[in-house]
Structure 1
Amino acid sequence: MTIPPGKSTPVPEAAQSCGYTDNSNQTYKCTLKPGLKFSDGSTLDSKDVKFSFDRNIKIADPAGGSSLLANMKSVEAPDPQTVIFHLKAPDATWPFVLTTGSAAIVPDSYPADKLQPSDQVIGSGRYTVKSYKPGTQTVLDKNQSYTGSDPALNDSVIIQYYKTSSDLALALKNGEVNIAYRSLSPTDINSLKGSSGIQIVSGNGIEIRYIVFNENLQPGSNDAQKLAVRQAVAYTIDRNAIASKVYDGTVEPLYSMVPQGLQYATEPFKTQYGATPDVNKAKQVLQQAGVKTPVPLELWYTPSHYGPVSADEYAEIKHELDSSGLFNVTLKSTEWNQYSTAAFTDKYPEYQLGWFPDYPDADDYTASFYSKDSFLNDHYSNPDMEKLLAQEKATTNTTQRQQAFTKIQDLGAKDAPTIPVWQGKQVAAAQDDIQGIEKTFDPSFIFRYWLITKG
């Protein structure tokens, strides 16, 4: 399945129809389009779909997407055109999962228990991989065997990787690249705005940054004190200052783990803690819980993985918390290769994280963080939250999901195991003769190379 440009609801792509066949949303049936082909010219049918899903779960590569298939009990292919997914629990998000890379279809000639070499990819999409040099370059050619309704509007795409955002910005200025996307800093964007022959294209984004509290390691001698510390931080940080001082307005303050622009998003952190800092309220909540101040916080961030200004962002957060007189922040940092393991294995009491959507649904921004089984391993667990998460996932009824997500966001703000900081816009800089970028900026967060043309 796919999410069309500018939309937020999945529709069939390789399938001609898909839908639940039971009232509990646990059985999902897709009928494939006839005449589907892989990029090597071989036939694509239901046995390849079943093979692809079974293979993904069997390999379970840490860098892959098998975790999104955790609710799949089994998949069957009763005939060449029919695929039936059996789910462990009711799941209204399954159509969204089928739009992600986790649902990519590969031929059953692939090895069933190991990865295919990255330069030997066989798929059914709009491009084939002509060459791949890790960390340097990927070259895509138009797939001549593509059987979809909207083939690529260009013949090839060259994706070049740069070590720093300033290197990428310079390459764009020098005409070495046509488009610079995702990793540009506010300084880079501002410098490019005044450059001749370069356009800046922006659109709504649902990338977020947030602070995580490990409830086993954070300050506080009991649950009430730990909650008070988290709530006091929520009262004290100044999202507007971070957005303006650090990011020069290229991001927006975020008052929910569900970003604005997604269906069901509310702003409970604004309602419960205010749109601007309230140090008096923070002081009051700490006093009522018997927390001595200043509270020592060991706050971790990673300096490059989330962009070149993370150090400035966390210096600003430290300044805000320290200036309140309620906290004494010690900043610590390390690069992502170490950070990505330590953060989730009880090494950091408080730490920075970011999130790019797996799929554009509020479930991806709530169950991912508030479930007792969250990848965060932050030891947050609330039975009321578990019930609400099960409710939103079990129904496709819009009204019922809105009610559940409103309660989830309110409870998440009250418990504050995570504190949202900002929501990013999608921004690209490109040569003036590049067209189609604006068509790909939507909540799905998919950069659709096939829509981009030159001249």
Structure 2
Amino acid sequence: MSRTKRVVAASTVGLMALTVAACGGDKNDSSGSSGGGAVIMGTTEPVQSLDPAKTYDLGSWTVIYNTFQTLLTYEAGAKEYSPDAAEKCSFGDPKTFTCTLKSGQKFSDGSDLTAEDVAFSIKRVVKIADPTGASTLFGSMQSVEAKDAKTVVFHLKRPDATFPQVLTTGAAAIVPSDKPDVYPADKVSAVSKSIGSGVYTLDKYKPKQLASFIANKEYKGNRKPKAKQFVLQFFSQESTLKQAVENGKVDVAYGKLSPTTLDAIGKEKSKGVSVVQGAGADIRYLTFNVKSKPVDNKAVRQAFAQVLDRDAIAKNVYNGNVTPLYSMVPQGVAGATQAFKDKYGAPSKDKAAGILKKAKVKTPVSIDLWSSPEKYGAVTTDEFTEIKRQLEATGLFKVKLDTSAWEQFQKAAFDEDQYPVFGLGWYPDFPDSDNYSSPFLRDGGYFTNNYKNAAVNKQLDKELASSDAKVREAAFAEIQKITAEDVPLLPVWQGKQNGVVRDGVTGVQDTFDPSYIFRFWLVGKGKK
């Protein structure tokens, strides 16, 4: 995602014959009703805005996913997208994508939802192009039009296999076109109000304090909320959130929960709390500026990769709350391989020494390794200290650890080529291998690390232009193989989604999947 919004937390799936037809709701939808008691969830993820045109962050998109509809969506646990507001969508040709809306849909104020609203919503995001928004996700779109009341047509600049997945994101949330006081066509909303067609509607909002939602009586979809009211309470400190869930002030805790906190709560069942986990798709990785010494030498990068012990990092630093990552594409996403494990195997000082000796590189190799604990949390310092320990234990490297504030970090690393090796993270826009490939590997990536490989670009073009899963997976396999050989990037770990729940709270684990859509409607309170 954009480097300032979801870099820890851009690109462009099916073409010619791809068709998405309407289907049922989430696998757990039928188990609930809107008669459940209120659920209070505490979170450390702030909401930057209620306006889809200004959002590109996890906290804001969580609100949007629950109060708005998009044409397409990811149901809980699904690996493929499916219709939401759309009845069906398909490519008529590689550059024309058409969606037909379901009948009878309404916004929370009772007004009809039409194709004109869809076209207006997308045009608005692109026109406003707010720097904190996600307008760049529509980079492959030439134009969008409402052909009639139920039909919307997207015209693309180029074939784009991931365009349907862009329509699952918060950037594609559908707002009413006839409410300029709330959603003006050319500027971000100036009011703390929300008019959507999602499962819930916003009832009360106090920035940085709370957001309260009630079941949307106008919602026409298949999702049945287990709780008729859902409340988000915002916390600036993890320690305060931990106390709130332990004391029963909140039913669920979700957000940036440290390994120490999760480990401590895991031992506190007597307090009526427990940790729940699910699949995640956020990643942490190291970036090499391939024009900066000494990592301009591929042998140095390969030797670094050869000695990195991901298992030790996961165990010693994160208490097992992350998973070792051997490709930029995380496990659970279609097309993922373990290319680095295939090439380098287990960490080996001897193999690393052999790589450096063959390339006539003098040892120890001095390397500056940069991180931003301000962005990624205090545990980042422990992680990079562990990496330094591993490298220096071989006698092949001498490592200097450096840190900087996030604003300075971006400028120095991305724009000024000052950092030879630096750590970053990534949350996906949507769970597709391209979203872990194009933003990083095409012509230097969003962080401009000076890596360019024509063979990689060719494979990226191939997967973007194809609707054939086998063609795309073959292209991604080759991309990951080349990445492991050239090492412009070094994957370190893959995150898990973690939450803390009070006894009697159900459904949180059901919503954890690589799409990062936290589905309020699946969460309820009652006896287990």
TM class by shorter chain equals over 0.9
1:414 is aligned to 485
Q: Does 1:75 align with 2:140?
A: no
1:332 is aligned to 402
2:294 is aligned to 219
2:392 is aligned to 322
Q: Shift in Å at residue 46 of structure 1? A: 1.2
Please tell me the residue identity of whatever aligns with 2:112: T
Q: Secondary structure at the match of 1:86?
A: strand
1:306 is aligned to 376
- Return the match for 1:99 from 140, 145, 168: 168
Q: Does 1:38 align with 2:107?
A: yes
Q: How does 1:223-302 map to 2 (within 5 A)?
A: 223=296, 225=297, 227-274=298-345, 276-302=346-372
Q: How does 1:110-129 map to 2 (within 5 A)?
A: 110-117=183-190, 119-129=192-202
Q: Secondary structure at the match of 1:305?
A: helix
CA-to-aligned-CA distance 1:232-282 (integer Å, 9 cap, x gap): 2111211010011001111111100011111111101001111x2122222
CA-to-aligned-CA distance 1:2-32 (integer Å, 9 cap, x gap): 111111111111010101112xx32111001
Deviates more, 1:202-211 or 1:366-375: 366-375
Q: Does 1:432 align with 2:484?
A: no
- CA separation of 1:242/1:373 partners in 2, compared to 1, >3 Å: closer, same or farther? closer
1:389 is aligned to 460
Q: Shift in Å at residue 373 of structure 1? A: 5.9
Q: Is contact 1:139-1:157 (8 Å) kept? A: yes
Q: Does 1:50 align with 2:119?
A: yes
Q: Does 1:12 align with 2:83?
A: yes
Q: Is contact 1:235-1:277 (8 Å) kept? A: yes
Structure 2 Cα separation of the partners of residues 26 and 454 of structure 1? 46
Deviates more, 1:64-73 or 1:341-350: 341-350
Structure 2 Cα separation of the partners of residues 310 and 53 of structure 1? 37
CA-to-aligned-CA distance 1:125-177 (integer Å, 9 cap, x gap): 12223343443333333222222221432222222222332322122111111
Deviates more, 1:404-413 or 1:185-194: 185-194
Structure 2 residues not aligned, in runs of 5+: 1-71
Q: Shift in Å at residue 430 of structure 1? A: 0.4
- Return the match for 2:520 from 443, 449, 452: 449
2:449 is aligned to 378
Q: Shift in Å at residue 79 of structure 1? A: 0.8
Deviates more, 1:348-357 or 1:141-150: 141-150
CA-to-aligned-CA distance 1:428-451 (integer Å, 9 cap, x gap): 110011111121112212111111
Q: Secondary structure at the match of 2:373?
A: coil
Q: How does 1:87-236 map to 2 (within 5 A)?
A: 87-108=156-177, 109=180, 110-117=183-190, 119-195=192-268, 196=270, 197-220=272-295, 223=296, 225=297, 227-236=298-307
Structure 2 Cα separation of the partners of residues 216 and 139 of structure 1? 50
Structure 1 Cα separation of the partners of residues 367 and 241 of structure 2? 36
Deviates more, 1:175-184 or 1:146-155: 146-155
Please tell me the residue identity of whatever aligns with 2:108: S
Q: Shift in Å at residue 217 of structure 1? A: 3.2
Q: Secondary structure at the match of 1:343?
A: helix
Q: Secondary structure at the match of 1:359?
A: coil
Please tell me the residue identity of whatever aligns with 1:214: N
Structure 1 residues not aligned, in runs of 5+: none
Structure 1 Cα separation of the partners of residues 377 and 232 of structure 2? 19
Structure 1 Cα separation of the partners of residues 255 and 83 of structure 2? 28
Q: Shift in Å at residue 118 of structure 1? A: 6.1
Q: Is contact 1:238-1:320 (8 Å) kept? A: yes
Taking structure 1 as the reference length, what is the TM-score of the superposition?
0.94
CA-to-aligned-CA distance 1:89-126 (integer Å, 9 cap, x gap): 21221221111112111122321222113622222212
Q: Is contact 1:207-1:354 (8 Å) kept? A: yes
Structure 1 Cα separation of the partners of residues 204 and 408 of structure 2? 30
Deviates more, 1:252-261 or 1:84-93: 84-93
Structure 2 Cα separation of the partners of residues 218 and 50 of structure 1? 49
Structure 1 Cα separation of the partners of residues 509 and 496 of structure 2? 13
Please tell me the residue identity of whatever aligns with 1:105: I
Structure 2 Cα separation of the partners of residues 86 and 419 of structure 1? 37
Q: Secondary structure at the match of 2:376?
A: coil
Q: Secondary structure at the match of 1:391?
A: helix
Structure 1 Cα separation of the partners of residues 174 and 215 of structure 2? 18
- Return the match for 1:344 from 414, 425, 431: 414
Deviates more, 1:141-150 or 1:405-414: 141-150
